[in-house]
Amino acid sequence: MTQKIKILLLFILIVQFSWAQTTTATKEVKTKAYLKGEYKKEAKGKVYTTKNQHKVEVIAPIANPKAQIKNIILLIGDGMGVSEVFAGLSANNDQLYIEYANRIGFQKTKSKNKYKTDSAAGGTSMACGIKTNNGFVGMDADSNSVESILETAAKHGKATGLVAAAKITHATPASFIAHVPSRKQYEDIAEFFISDDLDLFIGGGLDDFNKREDSRTLLPDLESKGFQIVKTEEELIEIKEGKVAALLSSGHIAKYPVRGEFLPNSTNKAIEILSQNDQGFFLMVEGSQIDWGGHDNSVEYVVEEMLDFDRTVGEVLKFAADDGNTLVIITADHETGGMSVHDANPEKGRLEGRFTTGSHTSVMVPVFAYGPGADAFMGIYENTEVFHKMLEAFKFDTSKASNHKK
């Protein structure tokens, strides 16, 4: 054999070898299990069947989407990402009241110092229109107090209210009235409720007002601001007008169904009282414990809280449909649990869900809007925009308030 032929043979061998390698690699890709419809075995998710399904009545679309916005009702489902909403929907015969708030957007939830926000920073962004550090309530990252939409609304003659299925001093409601560098300063937060800017609050947390480290009781201070103090739901039903401080539990409010219809009932009472103001009102309602269901990685806890929140949304939408001058916004501060919905039997209320964390996640969360001005909430934007969009909806002249500039 000549040298040339030897080299040629070697060349052919190499080409064949690499050809064979390519073919093997191609075969490997082709035989990937998922391409044959076979999937990696995974542990079963957590299955829960609710008995608390509710029928969703038809909510008429708003007659005049260009009507003047007199009232804003902001409903915050703490920890309510798309999966939590869909878990509720899937467990409730494929229907939710939230679906009627069909101007839909997403808000990005990162805080000033963390991609993964907490409820204090998230609440403050929506309440005050600024990014702040996790844990901060109604303050920027340099500990400057920032006026909230509730406080601005009050200064413009609106009646204002806060309702929460937790301590009223907890991070989310606190973001709308208090200004402290730590969400854990519950007793300091309580002092901010002695306010001319606030007309009504309903939630738990009585101990932060009258079993304090400084052994003060804030109840007489609340009374001096004109609040009627209420400690039971029975008493609350009797109240028909005026300022209301309803502290219905020493600590947090119980979970659903232990607390019964606390959230829809309290929301209706808030609307009944605040809507008596000729100049309109601002109300924030929090479904506080969707978040706690996520932290617990409990499908049951998430579904029951989600459905209770949706029944509350239903009450609000019925009022708004009737009223015609009320903008309703339903959103969350962040997602909790990294939840996913894997399977469901919507008629039976049966749901299989899984979680990826016991903490919050960084995913964007949905914003649903209904009523005049709802179109402004479509799109993808930062959580601070929720504040600016509400401010624009109310058409306040805020040219002098520096912290309201974008």
Residue number, 208 or 291, with CB nearest to Zn ion: 291
Binder to Mg ion among 148, 288, 297, 384 (CB under 5 A)?
288
3-class state of residue 117 by DSSP: coil
For residue 289, give Cα distances in angstroms to 80, 122, 303, 314, 329: 10, 16, 10, 18, 18
Shortest Å, Cβ 215 to Mg ion: 28
Q: Which does 288 bind (CB under 5 to 8 A by kind): Zn ion, Mg ion, none?
A: Mg ion
**Cβ nearer to Zn ion, comparing 188 with 291:** 291
Residues in the chain: 406
Q: How far is the CB of 383 from Zn ion (least distance, A)?
A: 15
267 binds, among Zn ion, Mg ion, none (CB under 5 to 8 A by kind): none
How is residue 64 annotated by DSSP?
-
Is residue 119 close enough to count as binding Mg ion by CB under 5 A?
Answer: yes
Q: Alpha-carbon distance 142 to 12, whole Å?
A: 72
Minimum gap (Å) between residue 304 Cβ and Mg ion:
17
Within residues 58-117, the interface with Mg ion by CB under 5 A covers 78
Quote the CA–CA distance of 80 and 363 in Å, as a whole number: 11
Measured between alpha carbons, how far is residue 97 from residues 211, 215, 301 in Å? 39, 44, 19
The smaller minimum CB distance to Mg ion, of residues 78 and 300, is found at 78
Residue 297, contacted partner among Mg ion, Zn ion, none, CB below 5-8 A by kind: none
Q: What distances in angstroms separate CA 147 from CA 172, 175, 391, one per listed residue?
A: 15, 10, 12
Least distance in Å: CB of 117 to Zn ion? 10
Which of Zn ion, Mg ion, none sits in contact with 172, Cβ below 5 to 8 A by type? Mg ion
Cβ nearer to Mg ion, comparing 69 with 386? 386
Minimum CB separation of residue 59 from Mg ion in Å reads 26
Binding residues vs Zn ion (CB under 5 A): 291
Binding letters toward Mg ion, positions 172-211, x by CB under 5 A = x---------------------------------------
- Look at residue 103 and give its three-state secondary structure: strand
Smallest separation (angstroms) from Zn ion to the CB of 119: 6
CB 187 within 8 A of CB 212: yes
**Cα gap 276→159, rounded to integer Å:** 9
Q: Are 329 and 369 in contact (CB under 8 A)?
A: yes
Whichever of 120 and 222 has its CB closer to Zn ion, that residue is 120
Label the pairing between strands 350-354 and 340-345: antiparallel
Applying CB under 5 A, the span of 62-70, 164-172, 232-240, 255-263 interacting with Mg ion comes to: 164-172
Task: Name the closest residue to Zn ion (Cβ).
Answer: 291
Please name the residue that has the structure tokens 């109840």. Answer: 219
Residue 352: beta bridge partners? 47, 343
State the nearest-atom distance from the C-beta of 294 to Mg ion, in Å.
11
Q: Which residues bind Mg ion (CB under 5 A)?
A: 78, 119, 172, 288
